[in-house]
Amino acid sequence: MRRTWLIFSQAVTVAVALLFVVATLKPEWLRSTPGPVMPEVVAISSATPPAPGTSAPAGGGYAAAARVAAPTVVSVVARKGSGARARPNQNPHGEDPWFRFFFRDGPGSQQPQKGLGSAVIVSSTGYLLTNNHVIEDADDIEVQLSDGRQAQARLVGSDPETDVAVLKIDLPNLPAITFGAAEALQVGDIVLAIGNPFGVGQTVTSGIVSALGRNQLGINTFENFIQTDAAINPGNSGGALVDTRGQLVGINTAIFSRSGGSLGIGFAIPSDTARQVMESLIREGQVTRGWIGVEPQNLTPEFIQSFKLPVREGVLISGVLQNGPAGKAGMKPGDVVTKVDARPVANTAQLLGAVAALKPRSDTVIGVQRGDQALELKLTVGQRPKPGQREQ
C-alpha cells in the first residue's frame, strides 16, 4: 500500500510539473475554445449620437464659426518708403533677410519696407477695419482675400489713439462679417482669432476671454481691451476676434510677449469701439472727442491720508491749462475729480473716456473734491487736440 501511494504521489508531481511547463511555454495548447478578447481603450466622444435617419457631422469644434468669418479676413501688405509698389526691375531677392545682410549697401538696399498684417471686411461695399499701426505711414497698401483676389486699398482714415484704421477696396461680391455684441462678452466665453500670423497664410486659433476692460497697458491712449489666450502673433494685428457664431467681437491688436511670439496673453479692441471710430472716420474723416485741458494722475492712499480727503476714489489733477475749459471754470491743481456729467470716475482711464465721450462745445458739470469741500464746476467742453500734445 505504501509503495502504491508513493508511485501515485510521484505521478501527480510529474503531471503538475508538465502542466506548469506547458502553461508557461505553450499556453495555447491548453485553450479548448477562444477566450474573450479585452477591448482596446479608446477615446469616446461626448457628443450625442445622431438620431435615426440622420448622418453624423463630418467634424466637431468651431468649424461653422470659422467658415462664416474666415472669408471676411484679408491679408494686408503695407509698403513704406521709396515710392509705392516695388518696381519690376528691382532685385527679386530684395526681401530676403540674408540677401539684405550681405548686400545692405548694394543692390536691393533701396527696397521699400514691407509690413504684414490683417484686416476685416465689414461692409459689402468694401470697407475694412484694421489697426493703425499696420498701415501707419504706408505709401502703398495691398490686400489679398482668402479666395485669392488682390486689390489696392485706399486709406479712409485712422485714429492712432485707439489704433483703429479704415480701408476701402473696390471689388465685387465681397463677403462681410456681422458685428457681434462685444458688451455681452463674459470671462470664459470661447473666441476665435483669425489672421495672417508671420505671413504664413490665414490661420484660426481658439481660446477664451481671459479678462475684460484691460487698460493702463501703455499701448493706446484709449484702452478697453478684451484679453484672450487665443494665440495672437505678429501678422494677426488687424484680424478678427469672433465668437462661436462667427460674429465680430474684437480687432486683434497686441500681445504681451518677451520673445515676440504668443504667450497666451493677447489683446483685442472691442468691436463696438472699433465700429464707433469707423463710422466717425467715414462720416467726418476724423474722430471728434471732448477735452477739458488738465493733467490727471491716479489718486493714491498717501495723498488721501495727507490731505484728509473724505473721498476714496477719484482722479488727482496735477496741472490745469490756464486758458483751457477746466481752467476757465475754476479748476485748480490739487483738485480731485470725482464725477464727469454725473458719471463717477475712479482712475485716469475712466476720466479720459468720460471726457472724450463729451461733445465739443457742449456744457457739462464736473464734480470736484477740494480739501473738505465738494464742488460742481460748470464748463464748456473743448475739442481734443491731435495726438502728440500733452493736454487731456
Active site (catalytic) residues: 133, 163, 237
Between β-strands 150-152 and 248-255, what pairing exists: parallel, antiparallel or unpaired?
A: unpaired
Whether 333 and 318 have beta carbons less than 8 Å apart is answered as yes
Q: Of the candidates 290, 362, 365, 291, which has an alpha carbon nearest to the alpha carbon of residue 330? A: 365
275 by DSSP, 3-state: which? helix
C-alpha cell at 312: 476714496
Of 258, 261, 241, residue with least CA distance to 250: 241
Picking from 154, 179, 177, 193, the residue whose alpha carbon sits closest to that of residue 76 is 154
Contact 216, 267 (CB under 8 A): no
Do 248 and 270 touch, CB atoms closer than 8 A? no
Q: Nearest-CA neighbor of 293 among 202, 381, 178, 374? A: 381
C-alpha cell at 361: 462745445
How far apart, in whole angstroms, are the C-alpha atoms of residue 210 and residue 266? 9
Residues 6+ apart with CB under 8 A from 47: 60
Q: What is the Cα–Cα distance from 268 to 274, expressed in whole angstroms?
A: 10
Contact (Cβ atoms closer than 8 angstroms) between residue 219 and residue 286? no
Round to whole Å and give the CA distance between 72 and 176.
6
